[in-house]
Amino acid sequence: MSSGMRMGGGGSAMSWRRQDASVVDQKLAKGTLRRILRFAKPFKWYITAFLALVVVSAFLVIASPLLFKKIVDDGISKGNAGLVTALALVVALLAVVEAALGLMQRWFSARIGEGLIYDLRTQVFAHVQRMPVAFFTRTQTGALVSRLNNDVIGAQQAFTSTLSGVVSNVISLILVVGAMLFLSWQLTIIAIVLLPVFLLPARYLGRRLAAMTREQMQLNADMSTAMTERFSVGGALLVTLFGNPDLENQQFGEKSGRVRDLGIRIAMLGRVFFTALTLVAALATALVYGVGGNLAVRETLTIGTLLALVALLGRLYGPLTALSNVRVDVMTALVSFERVFEVLDLEPMIQDAPDARPLPPNAASVTFDHVSFAYPTADQVSLASLESVAVLDKRASSQVLEDISFTVEPGQMVALVGPSGAGKTTITNLVARLYDVTGGSVRIGGEDVREVTLESLHDTIGYVTQDAHMFHDTIRANLTYAKPGATDEEMADALRSAQVWDLVSSLPDGLDTVVGDRGHRLSGGERQRLAIARLLLKAPHIVVLDEATAHLDSESEVAVQLALDTALEDRTSLVIAHRLSTVRNADQILVVDHGNIVERGTHEQLLALDGEYADLYHTQFAESGTAAGV
C-alpha cells in the first residue's frame, strides 16, 4: 500500500485514536475564536508561509501520477526514449522538491508550535504565580500542571497539525478527485462507491476506541496520582508506618491489569481498522484494474491513464479518513485553548491597586484597625475544573475574625497565643496581604496594605512557619531565593547567625548539598535554622513567626531559639507561639479565642489577671513546677 494510502496530508489516518469524540458536544465560550486569532497574531507571517508550503505540497500529490501517465502513454508506448528520460528526471526533481518542502514545513511548524507553547506556558505560569494562597488551597496541583502541559500542547496543535492537516487534506482531496474525474469519471465513481464500506466501520471503531482510550487515560492518571503520593517523602513514610504493602500492590496491580487489557483491545481494534483500510484499498485497486484493464484492452482507456488512476486512488482514502474526523480534531484543539483561557481569565483576588505606591523605606510598624475577616468563597478564587468538581461551593464562609485592633511599634515583639483554630495564623496572613480584610484595615508604617505595591510589601516582611518549605535543590539555591546574587560570605554569615553553619560546613558538598524533597534530608531543627538563615539574608523590617519552634525536641528548640533571637534583634515581630516560655519577654501578648482578642498585656500582667492566659500557662507548666517561681 502506498504512503498516500496511509497518510492524509498533515496527519495519520489513525490520528482519531488520540482524540476524544465527546469534545464535539462542548459549547465554546463566546469570543474564543477571536482570542485565538489575536493570540496567533505574532506568528501570522510564519503561518502564512507555512500554509503556502502546505498548498504547494498538496499540488505535488497529483503531479507524479500525471507524469507517470505521460511517461507510459507518450514515452514508452511511442518509443520516445528522450521523453521518458526527461520526464523521469522531472519526477526525481519533484521528489527532491517535495522533500525540501517537507523540511521547510517542519521548520515553520516547529517555529509556530514551540513559539505558541512558550507564549502560552509563560503567560499561564506568570498568571498562576499572581494567584492568592486561597487559590492553591483549593486547586488540585495535578490539574493545574495539566493545563501547563497537555492543554497548552493541545492548543498549539490547532496551528500546526490540525490546521495544516485540514488545508492539505481538503486541497489534496479536491485535486485528486478532480484529476481522477478528468482521467475517467467511470472508474472514479467505482472507487467512490466503496467509500461507505470503509468509512462507516471506521466511525464505529472510532467511537469505541475513543471510549476505551478515555478509560485508559483515566486509569493511567489514577496510577500516576497514586505513585506521586506514595513516592514523596511524606507519602512513603505514611505507607511504611501505616500502609498495607500487599493491599497497595493488589490495588496497583488491578489498575495496571485493566490498562494492560485495554491496551490489548485498543491494539486489536486498531489492527482491525488498519486491516479494513488495507482490504478496501486492495479491493478498490483490484476493481479499478479489473474494469480499467478491460477498458484498456478495448483501447477506450490508455495504460498510462490506468496506472495514473491507480496511483491517485492511493492518495484518495487517506485525506477522506482524516477529514471524516476533522470536527473532533478541530474541537479538541479549540477546547484546549478554551481551558487555557479559563485559567488566564480567573482574576487574582489580591493584586495591586491601580494607584498603588511603594511602602516607605523604613516602614516598620504594624496596625490592625477594627479588622474583621471571612475567607473568600470557592467561586471567588477557584475553578470547578481545577478542583475536579461539577459545581463550586458558593456558600458564604463564616466570620473568622471580629473587631481585631492592636499596634506593634517599630522594634517591638507582639505575641499571639490561644487555642488551635482561634484565628492566630489568619491574623498573620493579613499582614503580608495573603488575604484581604473584609472590614477595617491593616496598616504597615501607617499605609493601608491594600494601597501599596505587593512587591514592596513582601520585601518588608519575612516569614518563618512551623513547616518551613525547601525546594528540592541545593542549600545555596534555597538561600539565594531570598536574595538573588548573595555572596558565599553573606550566606556563611547568615548561616552562622542562624546557628547552622557548623552543619553546612561539615557537609561534603557544603552549600551545594541538595536538601531533598521539601528539605527532608535535614532534621526539623536544621530545616528551621536554614529557613531563619534565609530570612536573615532577606533582612526584612518586619518578621512573622508562626509556631517556628513547634514540634522540635528540646535541643533543637534551644538552637532555633538562639537563631530567632538574632533574627528578631532590632526588628518588629509578630510571633505565634504554642510554647508560652518562648514569648515571656514579649512587649505585648494578645490572647486570641474564636476570632477575638480576649486578653492583652505583658506576661506578668496577664498572669496577675488570672484569666485565660493564666490558665494556658499553668496548664503547660504546672507539672514541671516552672510556673511556681513566676
Q: Are strands 439-444 and 366-374 parallel, antiparallel or unpaired?
A: antiparallel
Q: Does one domain contain both 11 and 136?
A: yes
In a 13 Å sphere around the CA of 601, the CA atoms on its Cβ side amount to 14
Q: Does one domain contain both 262 and 166?
A: yes
Give domain status of residue 292, yes or no.
Answer: yes
Q: Does one domain contain both 373 and 424?
A: yes
To 5 degrees, how large is the angle CA 462–CA 467–CA 471?
80
Q: Does one domain contain both 389 and 271?
A: no
179 Ramachandran zone, left/alpha/beta (phi>0; psi -120 to 50): alpha
Give domain status of residue 357, yes or no.
Answer: no
Give domain status of residue 356, yes or no.
Answer: no
Q: How far is CA 197 from CA 107, 193, 322, in A?
A: 38, 8, 16
Residue 10 is predicted with a pLDDT of: 39
Q: Which of 309, 344, 379 is the last residue of a domain?
A: 344
Q: Does one domain contain both 397 and 321?
A: no
**Nearest by Cα to 51 from 154, 170, 174:** 170
Q: Does one domain contain both 196 and 94?
A: yes
178-208: pLDDT as tens digits: 888 888 888 888 877 777 766 666 667 666 7
Residue 415 is predicted with a pLDDT of: 92
Q: Does one domain contain both 128 and 266?
A: yes
Range of the domain at 595: 366-629
Is residue 144 within 8 A of residue 30, CB to CB? The reply is: no
Task: Give the relative orientation of helices 195-231 and 245-297 as an angle to the nearest 10 degrees.
Answer: 160
Q: Does one domain contain both 57 and 104?
A: yes
Q: Does one domain contain both 256 and 390?
A: no
Tell me the sheet residues that pair with 366.
Answer: 408, 444
Residue 628 is predicted with a pLDDT of: 41
**Nearest by Cα to 485 from 540, 543, 538, 542:** 538
Q: What CA–CA distance (Å, rounded) separates 378 from 396?
A: 9
Which residue has cell 507524469?
67
Residue 18 is predicted with a pLDDT of: 44
Q: Does one domain contain both 329 and 402?
A: no
Number of domains in the chain: 2
Lookup: cell for 493: 554569615
Give domain status of residue 300, yes or no.
Answer: yes
Q: What CA–CA distance (Å, rounded) separates 191 from 309?
A: 10
What's the pTM? 0.74
Give domain status of residue 351, yes or no.
Answer: no
CATH code assigned at 385: 3.40.50.300
Q: Does one domain contain both 370 and 340?
A: no
Give domain status of residue 324, yes or no.
Answer: yes
To 5 degrees, how large is the angle CA 588–CA 591–CA 594?
150
Q: How far is CA 489 from CA 248, 486, 511, 515, 526, in A?
A: 49, 8, 11, 20, 20
Q: How far is CA 180 from CA 56, 187, 258, in A?
A: 19, 8, 47
Give domain status of residue 513, yes or no.
Answer: yes
Q: Does one domain contain both 438 and 525?
A: yes
Residue 361 is predicted with a pLDDT of: 84
Identify the three-state secondary structure at position 324: helix
The mean pLDDT values, 10 residues at a time, for the chain of 630 residues are 38 42 57 80 88 87 86 85 90 91 88 85 87 82 74 76 80 87 85 72 67 70 70 67 73 84 83 75 82 84 86 79 69 78 86 91 91 87 70 70 93 90 91 92 94 92 83 88 89 87 87 78 81 88 82 67 80 86 86 92 91 86 48
Is residue 98 within 8 A of residue 56, CB to CB? The reply is: no
Q: Rg (Cα) of the chain, in Å, rounded?
A: 35
Q: What's the 3-state SS for 481-534?
A: CCCCCCCHHHHHHHHHHCCCHHHHHHCCCHHHCECCHHHCCCCHHHHHHHHHHH
CATH code assigned at 114: 1.20.1560.10
Give domain status of residue 142, yes or no.
Answer: yes
